[in-house]
Amino acid sequence: MNDPVAVVRPFKGVSAADRVRQRRDALLDAGLSALAEGTRSSVTIDDVIARAGVSKRYFYEHFRTRNDLFVALGERLVEQVTAAAATTLASSTPDLLSRVQEAVGSVVSVLISDPRNARLFLDMMGGDQLTVGRAEHSIATMLIDAIVPTMEVSEKERTRLDMAALIVIVGGAQAVSDWLDGRVALSRDELLDEIVRLVAAAIRTVRPDL
């Protein structure tokens, strides 16, 4: 006789798979809030599950340790930034300044739309393998790919472009965080304009012809 097949029924119209995803999202959002309000060392599993409204067994359903939670948060943020920049990668705008505006605007919008993301990104920068491993380098590379996707550059020029983008991203993330805290007396558009000009100037130090 064949063994009976277990049937997982929806609960209140929500499938088992959807409930698993909802719990994971709740844990990620709780971890993001806890990290934004404190430091990595201050975030505890008990605090996260209390904020998420789930039991500890559901935390371990998704993460073995707090560090696994931090890694997942970093990966989600990089995915959000990459998705936002996808429109720039597909853009045919020939003007450098316009491309920079599109690319920088897409990245900064992710940080400004949810201030917790800006805090997370600052926490990730310069980090080790526990938080996606130097996410600022990945985003710098993506930013240059979006701005100058078809430009032929030498290996040395590409290294310099990535380095220039890296420097601006690190400083820009801090500027966004300071702006969110009210320590930068600029409007949102003025903040974006300043970052755009800095990125364009940095690129032109490598390729003045652009």
Confidence (pLDDT) at 59: 95
Confidence (pLDDT) at 102: 84
Neighbour-count burial for 109-127, b at 16+ CB within 10 Å, e otherwise:
ebbbebebbbbbbbbbbeb
Helix, strand, coil percentages for the chain (3-state, nearest 5): 75, 0, 25
Task: Name the residue type at position 76.
Answer: R
Confidence (pLDDT) at 91: 61
CA–CA distances in Å: residue 47 to residues 31, 35, 106, 154, 207? 8, 11, 32, 50, 49
Cβ-proximal residues to 59 (8 Å cutoff; 6+ apart), any chain: 27, 45, 48, 49
Quick one: which H or E segment has residue 201?
helix 188-206
pLDDT band at 7 (very low <50, low <70, confident <90, very high): very low
Q: What is the mean pLDDT of the chain?
A: 82
> Is residue 191 a contact partner of residue 179, using CB atoms and an 8 Å limit?
yes
Quick one: which H or E segment has residue 41?
none
Q: What CATH architecture does domain 72-206 belong to?
A: Orthogonal Bundle (1.10)
Q: Where are the domains of the chain?
A: 11-63, 72-206
pLDDT tens profile 8-61: 455 555 677 878 889 999 999 999 999 999 888 889 999 999 999 999 999 999
Against a cut of 0.85, is the pTM above it?
no
Angle formed by the axes of helices 115-124 and 66-89, nearest 10°:
110
Nearest-angstrom CA–CA distance, 184 and 198: 16
Q: Do domains 11-63 and 72-206 have the same CATH topology?
A: no
To the nearest whole percent, how much of the chain has pLDDT over 90? 28
pLDDT tens profile 77-125: 888 887 877 766 666 667 778 888 888 888 888 888 888 988 888 887 7
Confidence (pLDDT) at 8: 45
- Length of the chain in terms of residues written: 210
Q: Look up the CATH superfamily of 11-63.
A: Homeodomain-like (1.10.10.60)
CA–CA distances in Å: residue 118 to residues 40, 79, 182? 14, 14, 14
Confidence (pLDDT) at 44: 94
Nearest-angstrom CA–CA distance, 197 and 193: 6
